[in-house]
Amino acid sequence: MRIAVIGRTEMLYQAALSAAASGHLIVLVATAAASPESTVGTAEFEALAARHDAAFLQRNRFTAADAALIRATAPECAITMNWPTMIGQDIVECFPRGIINSHGSDLPEFRGNACPNWAILAGKEKVGLTFHFIDPLGLDTGDVVHKRFLENHDELYIGDVYDWLRDAVPQGFVESLASIEHPGFIAEKQDEARVTRAYPRRAEDGRLIFDRSAEHLHRLVRASSRPFAGAFCSYDGGEMVRIWRASRIEPKRPIFAVPGQIMHFEGHAPVVACGDGNALRFDEFEVHGGGALPRSVRARFR
């Protein structure tokens, strides 16, 4: 099948390589300026286009003039991920078999942003990955082509999800292309009764507020960890402490402690009282400036 590659990220780049290895012909590559954390940028996408003798576009938004240029390459389908702007009807119509987007949730749940992070925070049984057709009239509303899932559990961190996505996205795109080539394939409509909307998260959202339950705070550590900025709090209102890994602890007997109180240490790890009577142990953490954490049960995190 003659395909276009539209978007950014190493995952999309690897998906393009996988699609080509599966026999698809890349006829167009369109990309935009890479985000700061990206490991694959415009140069790699331009080189990809050159290797496949494909047309190359670099811009943040398609224009009306681009439609004619795209049609000239005679594409049948496109795969896309992390394109910075909405793709309009005039561009979608250039692809007889549609544009397939990769979205990090079990659509129609978590339409929007930071979806795997929100899935961890919400305690979902699974983290989803959906491949769906682009609908120019809505955000993540198009018919579903293919889905993949990763089991969620107490030891799953957001970095583990991204490790899984690095393989699942390329494989899922190849499987999606195979599906739409199959005679009689019908994409699945999204169930509007299940729709939820997810909004962007910022680094400041990782602050631990110890009035909350230990379960909530543990999820927040897992959802904020690498490759993101990490969960954080301050030691007695002073030094910033960043927490990368933690464990939820159920005390053997009832405790009376102000949330944020250091109850005791297990080795180097402080065990901190939470609002529900349980505790959070900091298994991997950093003190701002590289200093050591004073070992005092009179201290509190805030």
Predicted confidence band at 297 (pLDDT cuts at 50, 70, 90)?
A: confident
Predicted confidence band at 238 (pLDDT cuts at 50, 70, 90)?
A: confident
Q: Could you tell me the end-to-end alpha-carbon distance of the chain, in angstroms, rounded to an integer?
A: 57
What is the percent of the chain with per-residue pLDDT over 90, rounded to a whole number?
Answer: 93
Q: What does the pLDDT read at residue 23?
A: 98
What is the percent of the chain with per-residue pLDDT over 70, rounded to a whole number?
Answer: 100
Predicted confidence band at 131 (pLDDT cuts at 50, 70, 90)?
A: very high
Q: What does the pLDDT read at residue 237?
A: 74
User: How much is the pTM?
Assistant: 0.95
Hey, what domains does the chain have and what are their CATH numbers?
Answer: 2-198 (3.40.50.170), 203-290 (3.10.25.10)
How do residues 135-184 score in pLDDT, each as one tens digit?
998 999 999 999 999 999 999 999 999 999 999 999 999 999 999 999 99
pLDDT surpasses 80 at 37: no
Q: What does the pLDDT read at residue 290?
A: 83
